[in-house]
Structure 1
Amino acid sequence: MAHIIVVGNEKGGAGKSTVSMHVATALSRMGYRVGALDLDLRQKTFARYLENRLSFCVREGHGLPTPDYRDLPSVNADELEDGENLYDRRLSLAVAGLEDTCDFILIDCPGSHTRLSQVAHSLADTLVTPLNDSFIDFDLLARVDPDTNKIIGPSVYSEMVWNARQLRAQAGLKPIDWVVLRNRVGAQNMHNKKKIGSAMEDLSKRIGFRVAPGFSERVIFRELFPRGLTLLDLKDIGVKNALNISNVAARQEVRDLLKEIKLPNIEINF
């Protein structure tokens, strides 16, 4: 059975597709068979990223390691069992089409609450939740007292993850390994950064996730999208100044991310 990695939260602009692309292609580079699904059926940023990559490889004659992306298959309503949800069937068929041939399946979820996202979370062996390092994004996980910064209780997304964990437990599946990434952490050791870090650590113990460093704010991430490239590809394609200090630091962030996610039986070799 393939190990399923779900990248999700319920807020846009947190870096889900960038994380999805770098994790999926890093695993492909390490020789693993990786399947990819994008559940944002409207924007499809992850799917577009992979489409751009394939176009670049054809246009430039490169053979870059690339995940096996699949669209969700179409299903006619008359094919459904009584009470069966259309989106449940489409996602189930997509996963079934990949799990026998892949070591990992990476599912990128939309930045909103949808039926597909809800079901995908219940399938997750590893759940990766990127958050911008601010209390605006932290509100997705927990409600905070504005005067004391103490945590009042879990918020909407944490409750959805809790429900997904309950469904897995009822089905006799192993627990979700939940990793929250702190993206766009400021370089300076500001007071607000400390408060968020403290709140993250407190909440992680209460609702059961691990905190890991994500990606810094770098222009290079936005520049790579049109060609479908990742930071790990720059040296291979001969990009000028590919190994400048900023890019070397960014490559190390990708390596650190793979280490912190702690996927089973992988050896990081890039």
Structure 2
Amino acid sequence: MAYIIVFGNEKGGSGKSTTAMHVLTALLRSGFKVGAVDLDLRQRTLGRYIENRREYVRKTDVTLPQPQLAEMPTAADADADDEVKLVAFQKAILSLDEANDFIVVDCAGSHSALAELAHAMADTLVTPMNDSFVDFDLLARIDPETTAVTGPSVYSEMVWEARKARAETGARPIDWIVTRNRVGAQNMHNKRKVGAALKDLSRRIGFRLAPGFSDRVVFRELFPHGLTLLDIKDVGGGSLNISNVAARQEVRDLVAELKLPGVEVTF
């Protein structure tokens, strides 16, 4: 069966789809076959990213590795009955399973029955968050004076339920990874406080911390063409500048930390 990587949280703007697309491309460039499912039926950021990539290849005749994008209900059907969407998702997974080594699933930045099912199906769960206490609230409630953790968030509780449901089926445990995106060079005091709180929380509720992506213009510039930092040299982008080299290394570091089965960072 294909190994399922789910990118999920309940907040938008954390770089979830950008992270998913770069991990997906890294796997393609490592020689694996990769399927993709976009569960954000309204925004469809990952789906549009892949469609932009196909269009770029069509217009330029540049050869780029492509994932297999599963069909899901359209934005017009986004308010359809949950059962319809759940059945569509299950069919999407089945359609991708035999032909691919990995399946990347991008969830919407909100709670839904689709997100619950996706989390329960995850072999690896990646939760990107912006490096601030605003996004920390996604994982846990904290004391505003001491920043001590006072309890889990509703999202953490959902992951806990997904882990329990998965354990009941006898499947392998979910490897939950939280990445810190947009870590800034400034405000070092806040950065340290967020880091310490995350380290403490990771021990309490059982996730691993992994390096994320800095806030770089290049990520936004590549989206309209469906490209990632791993594609620049193939599309005639010339030599990478220092910022792009650093961003590419961030992709390498993240993929290495995910510790996916059979994956060696050779790209």
TM-score, shorter chain, exceeding 0.5: yes
Match of 1:245 in 2: 242
Aligned length: 260
Is 2:247 the partner of 1:257?
Answer: no
Query: Where in structure 2 are the equivalents of 1:10-29 lying within 5 Å?
Result: 10-29=10-29
- Distance in 1 (CA, whole Å) between partners of 2:256 and 2:165 is 28
For residue 129 of structure 2, give the secondary structure of its aligned residue in structure 1: strand
1:54: Cα distance to partner? 0.3
1:189: Cα distance to partner? 6.4
1:266: Cα distance to partner? 1.0
Q: 1:58-114, CA deviations, whole angstroms, 9 ceiling, x for partnerless residues? A: 10111101111111279xxxxxxxxx9322211111101111111000000000001
Out of 157, 163, 171, which is 1:173 matched to? 171
Q: 1:105-133, CA deviations, whole angstroms, 9 ceiling, x for partnerless residues? A: 00000000011111100000000000000
For residue 11 of structure 2, give the secondary structure of its aligned residue in structure 1: coil
Match of 1:92 in 2: 90
For residue 232 of structure 1, give the secondary structure of its aligned residue in structure 2: coil
Q: 1:101 to 1:73 in 2, by over 3 A?
A: farther
Q: 1:231-252, CA deviations, whole angstroms, 9 ceiling, x for partnerless residues? A: 0111111114x41100100100
Match of 2:189 in 1: 191
Letter paired with 1:190: M
Out of 117, 120, 127, which is 2:118 matched to? 120
TM-score by length of structure 1 reads: 0.94
After TM superposition, where is structure 1 displaced by more than 4 Å over at least 4 residues in a row?
A: none
1:172: Cα distance to partner? 1.1
- Distance in 2 (CA, whole Å) between partners of 1:154 and 1:262 is 26
- Distance in 2 (CA, whole Å) between partners of 1:86 and 1:223 is 35
CA contact 2:130–2:183 (8 Å) conserved in 1: yes
Match of 2:211 in 1: 213
CA contact 2:256–2:264 (8 Å) conserved in 1: no
Q: 1:2-34, CA deviations, whole angstroms, 9 ceiling, x for partnerless residues? A: 000000100000001100100111101111000
For residue 231 of structure 2, give the secondary structure of its aligned residue in structure 1: helix
- Distance in 1 (CA, whole Å) between partners of 2:84 and 2:163 is 22
CA contact 1:183–1:216 (8 Å) conserved in 2: yes
Query: Where in structure 2 are the equivalents of 1:70-149 lying within 5 Å?
Result: 70-72=70-72, 85-149=83-147
1:140: Cα distance to partner? 0.6
Match of 1:42 in 2: 42
CA contact 1:37–1:106 (8 Å) conserved in 2: yes
1:188: Cα distance to partner? 3.8
CA contact 1:224–1:230 (8 Å) conserved in 2: yes
Match of 2:78 in 1: none
For residue 230 of structure 2, give the secondary structure of its aligned residue in structure 1: helix
For residue 58 of structure 2, give the secondary structure of its aligned residue in structure 1: helix
What root-mean-square deviation, in Å, do the aligned CA atoms of Structure 1 and Structure 2 show?
A: 1.3
1:187: Cα distance to partner? 1.6
CA contact 1:73–1:93 (8 Å) conserved in 2: no
Identical counterparts, % of pairs:
62
CA contact 1:73–1:94 (8 Å) conserved in 2: no
CA contact 1:129–1:181 (8 Å) conserved in 2: yes
Is 2:161 the partner of 1:163?
Answer: yes
CA contact 1:125–1:175 (8 Å) conserved in 2: yes
- Distance in 2 (CA, whole Å) between partners of 1:187 and 1:173 is 41
For residue 114 of structure 2, give the secondary structure of its aligned residue in structure 1: helix
